[in-house]
Structure 1
Amino acid sequence: MKKRSFTLLLLLCFGKVLLAQQSQAPSQNLLFLVDGKFISKSDVARINRDSIETLTIVKEKQHKTIFGVNDEAGLVIVITKAKMNSAENRLIKEKISKINFKTKPDAVKAPAPAKPSRDSIANGTFEFTVIQKQPEFPGGIKAFYSFLNENIKYPKEAAKRQIQGRVFLSFIVEKDGSLTNIKVTRGLSHDINDEAIRVLSTSPNWNPGIHFGVPVRVKYNININFNLNK
């Protein structure tokens, strides 16, 4: 369903450009030339819309022959950002420059993703790597580790047994900056794991994550180092 939806969206974008140029080629007969290679309509779903540098519609048959197309189908030429300077795309740009468009050229910048409204942002949980502003401990990461050093109480049994290493944890930074759902994802021993959870649960509220200007719940991952030689 996701692929079909994206294919339809991409075809609609192409269709708007065609209509703006009063094209007679139906959208179902479009041919796609991507980075110098012809692809099928089913492969259009694999194109990441954000990766497109330019999109050019070529309608006139005499112009399409420059690209090896001799039928009546509309030709959509896509150049991606990753390969915009490749030898194939340099040749394509040279060919496009030779076309005498009757009106404005069809080359357009790929549309930027629409900014969601405050109400359209889901109330779910975001990964910290995908949001615009990550949550942060007051004073930054150095202040956070200072907080840990001052508040961690090394378990006596773990110290006696010389257990050392890192405890990896995940938690949710809520919209108000509080930490919830603290879990050990990879630990050392029960007493050290429990101490890591305890000290995180006493953390002051963080500055919450922000996405498009709205505070959001963010899943965060961190590790705490238990070292007897400190």
Structure 2
Amino acid sequence: MKNLYLTLLSILFFGFAVHAQESKPLGKINAHIILDGKLLPIDTDTLKHFKEDDIDYATVIKDTEHKAIFGVNDEQMLLIVITKANKNKPENVALREKLSKINFAGTPKMAINPTLKKPSKDSIASGTFDFVSIEKQPQFPGGIKAFYQYLGENIKYPKEAQKNKIFGRVFLSFIVEKNGELSNIKLIRGVSSDIDAEAIRVVSGSPKWSPGIQFGVPVRVKYNINVNFNLN
């Protein structure tokens, strides 16, 4: 696994394989990263806290179709990493199952442990799943296009921001609860105080979503979204 992971890192950085004689800390990686079932912000340096021997599984996904399955829709590569310490958590069990169903044509096979058992419905953690690892993602009535239509019809552009020609995208995260309600709405990256507040207001007033499903039961799911404020 050590040499495999080094190969993956070298593909990201150089395009060819390199080898090391000792376990070294991992640095900042210019790619989308899913670490233990959670999508990290791009250019994160979270992996610097890990060494290669901490990694149970890793793979790089480049093609658009497969990246979209995990919520990545741009040109950046996607690195998926599962650590040994968390490999049996429900999020990672779900992530491995998702990966096992993908036909990685032309990509070296990665060691997905076939002996892992699904947790029983009664033993599923009461915590929160990330949307990239969920079996069935939560959904706004009518789908994501309908959600953006809802935003467009309900956003009231702040007058002061409009006057000063302030625009941009507000990035938010929230939890889709088991009953479909949205909670814990947080600002990830904002534009201005009044625009940020308006984005939070509109998302807070969203109709109920269909909840996320994992192992056949509704679960809490963390979801990321951006709200675009455009003067045009």
| Interval containing the TM-score (normalised by the shorter chain) | 0.5 to 0.7
Secondary structure class of the residue paired with 1:177: coil
1:19-98 alignment runs, 5 A limit: 48=57, 83=108
Shift of 1:83: 4.6
Question: For the residues of structure 2 that align with 1:44 and 1:157, how far apart are their CA atoms?
Answer: 53
* Counterpart position of 2:209: 206
Q: Deviations over 1:105-154 (max 9, x none)?
A: xxxx9634312111110000111111111111010011001100100000
- Return closer, same or farther for 1:157/1:120 CA change in 2, 3 Å cut-off: same
Question: For the residues of structure 2 that align with 1:137 and 1:199, how far apart are their CA atoms?
Answer: 14
> Does residue 191 of the first structure (1) align with residue 190 of the second (2)?
no
TM (norm. structure 1) is 0.53
Question: For the residues of structure 1 that align with 2:206 and 2:218, how far apart are their CA atoms?
Answer: 19
- Return closer, same or farther for 1:110/1:198 CA change in 2, 3 Å cut-off: closer
Question: For the residues of structure 1 that align with 2:184 and 2:53, how far apart are their CA atoms?
Answer: 40
* Counterpart position of 2:171: 168
* Among candidates 141, 148, 156, match of residue 144 of structure 2: 141
* Among candidates 118, 129, 135, match of residue 121 of structure 2: 118
* Counterpart position of 1:132: 135
* Among candidates 211, 219, 224, match of residue 222 of structure 2: 219
Instruction: Flag structure 2 segments of 5+ consecutive residues without an equivalent.
Output: 1-51, 58-103
* Counterpart position of 1:150: 153
- Return closer, same or farther for 1:47/1:129 CA change in 2, 3 Å cut-off: closer
Question: For the residues of structure 1 that align with 2:55 and 2:148, how far apart are their CA atoms?
Answer: 43
Shift of 1:47: 5.2
- Return closer, same or farther for 1:121/1:164 CA change in 2, 3 Å cut-off: same
The amino acid across from 2:122 in the alignment is D
Q: Deviations over 1:28-74 (max 9, x none)?
A: xxxxxxxxxxxxxxx998554xxxxxxxxxxxxxxxxxxxxxxxxxx
| Percentage of matched positions with identical amino acids | 66
Secondary structure class of the residue paired with 2:132: coil
CA RMSD of aligned residues (A): 2.6
Whichever of the two has the greater Rg, that structure is: 1
Q: Deviations over 1:62-112 (max 9, x none)?
A: xxxxxxxxxxxxxxxxxxx9656xxxxxxxxxxxxxxxxxxxxxxxx9634
The amino acid across from 1:172 in the alignment is I
- Return closer, same or farther for 1:165/1:113 CA change in 2, 3 Å cut-off: same
- Number of positions where the alignment pairs a residue of Structure 1 with one of Structure 2: 133
Question: For the residues of structure 1 that align with 2:130 and 2:159, how far apart are their CA atoms?
Answer: 35
Secondary structure class of the residue paired with 2:221: strand
* Among candidates 158, 182, 194, match of residue 179 of structure 1: 182
